[in-house]
Structure 1
Amino acid sequence: MRWPVRALALLAVTPLLRWLVAADSVAYGQPRRSACDSCGAPVGPAGALRPLTPSARCAGCGGRVGAAPLAVEIVLLLAVAAVVVAARPPIETIAFGWWVACAVPLLFVDLAVHRLPDRLSYAAAIGTLGLLGVAALASRDPSAWWRAALAGLGAALLLAGTTLLLGRRGFGLGDAKLALSAVAVLGWLGWPAVVLGVLLTFGASALCGLVLLATRRIGWRGHLPFGPFLVFGTLGTLALS
């Protein structure tokens, strides 16, 4: 199957990803969203629930639901392009694809409400490391898996440590949980990929922060969600690997 056909096929999962974004873009401690906030019409990926289309409009009242129009579709296409460009063996590609399917909704939820739901972060970590474990067994070389696990766990502990030491001035525990899978992907590619991914992530975060400060969109005490930068840093490294 050629790349454009694969991309179009993968767009079929965007209603599910849009539903995850809409359902989890709620404040901490609040139940998942199951209906339009304006008219109460049910929202969901398929079946008896109303589908979430690229227009991001409720089928009942036409109000905005979840991520912006076409945003999920564009980010998913870019993410899939990064995985395809990496040109890894099939099992590794499936593992990276699983991570993308979890990371894309996490990105949009973090942008919307500055939180990273555990259900998606844990799914990303367990699924990615599990599938990479299958790839390691297939290649009969477990060294890449151990490197991935070590890199992911080290990054998670480092970010979690800043939360314990610095409180709200440090990274959140959600960032640490996402880093477990994101940096594991980088670790599988090799230590140079880990270094490049860290540089891209923190470089993009710092640049964005400076631009927002210069334009007075945030103050010195403002807080940027770190999850999107971690996702784009990992995808950028995949594309360059």
Structure 2
Amino acid sequence: MTADRVQPSPAPGARGRRPPPRLSALLTVTPPIRLAIARYAVPPGEPDRDACARCGSTFGLDRPWPALGPAARCLGCRARVGAPPGTVELAVLAALAVLAAVGGSPAERSALVWWLSLAVPLVFVDVAVHRLPDRLTWAAAAGVHALLAMAALTSAGPGPWLRAAAAGAGLGLCFAATTLLLGRRGFGLGDAKLALSAGALLGWYGWPVLVLGLLLTFALSALTSVALLLARRVRWSSHLPFGPFLVLGTVAALLLTR
């Protein structure tokens, strides 16, 4: 008679451990983000880009154009197109880590997923050309408010959503007012439109979270400006893009308070 084989018991804690995201899943998420960056990273007033500027090779999600991949090179002329190689993939991994750390109800997580998926290309575009495209900022605001409304209907109640709506609208109006009063020395209208979604996301979790997010945003902006001035990379009259600091401040506040 042969002895029955005994199956080894799983290691302690192995049952509840989730496998890390696969590389194939990451490569599925990043092409639409790279497409948005390549398309909208053009100076204000110019039409959206839909082809390689050097050889004219068109791109889109229905075409295997290399700018949608990590190498970010045109297949025809090997020119660099869109975001630098590997940077979008690192940003998406960071966004996934933020999503795992913040948690929340399914609707709350959906709102954060929607916002992060649009915040990543907005950061790259703003750094590249100092522009926050309306198609991305308005989509971020509409999606966040709608998904938070769903969270209010399913579990949280109307209070958090009303606070989020007031926070987003108030922050957006304050940013827009600086543009009207101070011109180029104030925030841009793109920053005001991005504030509609960032403010709502922070306001959903409470007024202290909104205040913390704003403090972190302005602190990061000030520290970066001072560092660049000391390194003589910018002048006092230079205008730094504010969108990346608003995104980073929002993410930092959510991580510190959840």
The two structures have a TM-score, normalised by structure 1, of 0.95
* From 200, 205, 221, the counterpart of 1:189: 205
Greater radius of gyration (CA)? 2
Inter-CA distance 101–164: structure 2 relative to 1 (3 Å threshold): same
Percentage of identical aligned residues: 56
Structure 2 counterparts to residues 14-33 of structure 1, below 5 A: 14-33=30-49
* From 135, 144, 163, the counterpart of 1:147: 163
Matched position secondary structure for 1:5: coil
**1:134-185 per-position Cα deviation (integer Å, ceiling 9, x unaligned):** 0000015110001111111111011100000000010000000001101111
Matched with 1:90 is 106
Structure 2 counterparts to residues 1-241 of structure 1, below 5 A: 2=18, 4-5=20-21, 9-44=25-60, 46-51=61-66, 52-139=68-155, 141-241=157-257
Matched with 2:10 is none
Inter-CA distance 92–217: structure 2 relative to 1 (3 Å threshold): same
**1-side partners of 2:114 and 2:149: how far apart?**
13
**2-side partners of 1:239 and 1:7: how far apart?**
25
**1:83-109 per-position Cα deviation (integer Å, ceiling 9, x unaligned):** 210111111101110001111111111
Inter-CA distance 6–236: structure 2 relative to 1 (3 Å threshold): farther
**1-side partners of 2:170 and 2:26: how far apart?**
32
> Structure 2: any 5+ residue segments left out of the alignment?
1-16
Alpha-carbon RMSD across the aligned residues, in angstroms, is 1.5
Between 111-120 and 133-142, report the one with greater CA deviation.
133-142
One-letter identity of the residue aligned with 1:196: L
> Structure 1: any 5+ residue segments left out of the alignment?
none
**1-side partners of 2:108 and 2:25: how far apart?**
19
CA contact (8 A) 2:27 2:69 kept: no
